[in-house]
């Protein structure tokens, strides 16, 4: 009973069960200690139940073999990335057969080297050619420079492609908006028809999880659109973050969105919002949105530990909000006025649904004389560099187990 009371009332990073009967010990107490909510208490109790079962099975194995084993430590969970663990339990053989992984990405995953997923809607719908192709090549180079293998994801020729050759990047860039914009609901029809598509944040997360990639870099996530109380226009990115165990490194939510409502939905979905080196949630082109984050984190190693623990708890993704570099940021007042004008024009022209974001980005590019595009490229590179450092920290933690 005492052990149960402690688990229910004290926050912790992890604890271990000593193999000696009845001896429980806690390790690495979280600071500060806190009262847990009823939902978290239930989650912890289920975790404890699993640990006790594992302890009993461990003891039985030890008694049978006469061997003495080390304590079962769950402070930092094991995150093995062998071929079996890379395929989530819910993935079927058919799902795996739809993936085509490049030789470079396959080699990295098989060797347990860090990999960073990259989305492709930014190539097809985020900026014009040839800037989109230059950006895609430069972002992949940034990932490599920071110690990880890039895996740009797209839908091509009826396949879920994980890792693209340069010719594939160019084909996507040249196709531009003539390619589809693939969110979760579009995948089956695109695969059936052999369509070409850039993948959104939601779909890139989904495919990353299938491939066994834990970290993904993008520009900014989708969220709750302005006027959603009447349009119900809410990005599928938020639901995906709530259910898919992939960490998304971004410059916050796109400034064209209702950021306050977006953060509310993320809270409801149980998504931790981490501010990397900041207490303020960034707003894509601007470093601050006027809203806070759930937790400030100042180093990739701590982010990696949070990602591992989130996965161990059987929860969804983690959002890492990384502000645009100060030298490339736009002033909040200026970009706010530009966005307001672009939103009014979209409403007047009856533009809605999937078409809203590409229209607004194009119009903002025009109204800022191209400065929004330069800022966009800078923040994507910044996010790719951080995502690679986090992926390296995850791999190093895994190797240390």
Q: Of the candidates 47, 45, 6, which has an alpha carbon nearest to the alpha carbon of residue 29? A: 6
Token duo for residue 153: 């994801």
Preceding peptide of 32 cis, ω within 30°: yes
CB-based contact 123:169 (threshold 8 Å): yes
Query: How many residues are given for the chain?
Result: 401
Catalytic residue from among 170, 181, 254, 381? 254
CB-based contact 281:321 (threshold 8 Å): yes
Q: Which long-range contacts (CB under 8 A, 24 or more apart) does 389-392 make?
A: 389/146, 389/147, 389/300, 390/215, 390/247, 390/249, 390/300, 390/303, 390/304, 390/307, 390/320, 391/114, 391/115, 391/116, 391/147, 391/148, 391/214, 391/215, 392/114, 392/146, 392/147, 392/148, 392/300
Q: Of the candidates 4, 43, 57, which has an alpha carbon nearest to the alpha carbon of residue 26? A: 4
Catalytic residue from among 119, 140, 149, 170? 119
The answer to whether 134 is a known catalytic residue is no
Q: Of the candidates 251, 301, 248, 305, which has an alpha carbon nearest to the alpha carbon of residue 278? A: 251
Token duo for residue 215: 């970290």
Q: Of the candidates 284, 364, 174, which has an alpha carbon nearest to the alpha carbon of residue 356? A: 364
Return the axis-axis angle of helices 300-312 and 371-400, rounded to nearest 10°: 70
Q: How far apart are CA 213 and CA 1, in angstroms?
A: 40
Q: How far apart are CA 34 and CA 206, in angstroms?
A: 34
The answer to whether 254 is a known catalytic residue is yes
DSSP-based three-state secondary structure for 293? coil
Residues catalogued as catalytic: 119, 254
């Amino acid at each position: 009973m005492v052990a149960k009371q402690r688990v229910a009332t004290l926050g912790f990073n992890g604890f271990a069960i000593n193999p000696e009967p009845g001896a429980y010990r806690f390790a690495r107490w979280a600071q500060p200690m806190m009262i847990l909510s009823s939902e978290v208490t239930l989650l912890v109790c289920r975790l404890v139940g699993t640990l006790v079962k594992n302890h009993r099975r461990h003891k039985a194995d030890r008694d049978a073999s006469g061997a003495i084993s080390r304590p079962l430590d769950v402070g930092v969970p094991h995150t093995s990335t062998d071929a079996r663990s890379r395929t989530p339990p819910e993935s079927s053989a058919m799902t795996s057969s739809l993936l085509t992984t490049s030789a470079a990405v396959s080699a990295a995953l098989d060797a347990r080297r860090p990999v960073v997923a990259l989305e492709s809607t930014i190539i097809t719908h985020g900026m014009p050619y040839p800037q989109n192709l230059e950006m895609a090549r430069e972002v992949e180079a940034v990932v490599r420079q920071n110690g990880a293998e890039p895996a740009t994801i797209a839908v091509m020729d009826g396949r879920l492609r994980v890792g693209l050759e340069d010719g594939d990047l160019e084909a996507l860039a040249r196709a531009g908006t003539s390619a589809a914009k693939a969110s979760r609901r579009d995948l089956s029809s695109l695969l059936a028809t052999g369509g070409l598509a850039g993948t959104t944040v939601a779909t890139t997360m989904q495919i990353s999880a299938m491939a066994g990639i834990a970290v993904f870099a993008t520009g900014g996530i989708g969220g709750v659109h302005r006027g959603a109380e009447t349009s119900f226009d809410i990005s599928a990115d938020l639901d995906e973050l709530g259910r898919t165990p992939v960490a998304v490194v971004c410059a916050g939510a796109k400034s064209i969105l209702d950021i306050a409502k977006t953060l509310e939905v993320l809270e409801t979905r149980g998504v931790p919002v981490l501010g990397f080196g900041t207490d303020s949630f960034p707003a894509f082109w601007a470093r601050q949105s006027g809203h806070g984050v759930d937790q400030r984190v100042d180093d990739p190693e701590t982010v990696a530990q949070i990602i591992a623990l989130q996965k161990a708890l059987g929860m969804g993704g983690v959002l890492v909000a990384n502000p645009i570099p100060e030298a490339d940021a736009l002033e909040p007042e200026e970009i706010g006025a530009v966005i307001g004008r672009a939103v009014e024009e979209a409403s007047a022209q009856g533009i809605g649904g999937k078409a809203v974001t590409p229209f607004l980005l194009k119009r903002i590019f025009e109204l800022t004389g191209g400065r929004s595009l330069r800022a966009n490229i800078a923040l994507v590179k910044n996010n790719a560099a951080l995502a690679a450092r986090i992926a390296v920290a995850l791999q190093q933690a895994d190797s240390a187990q």
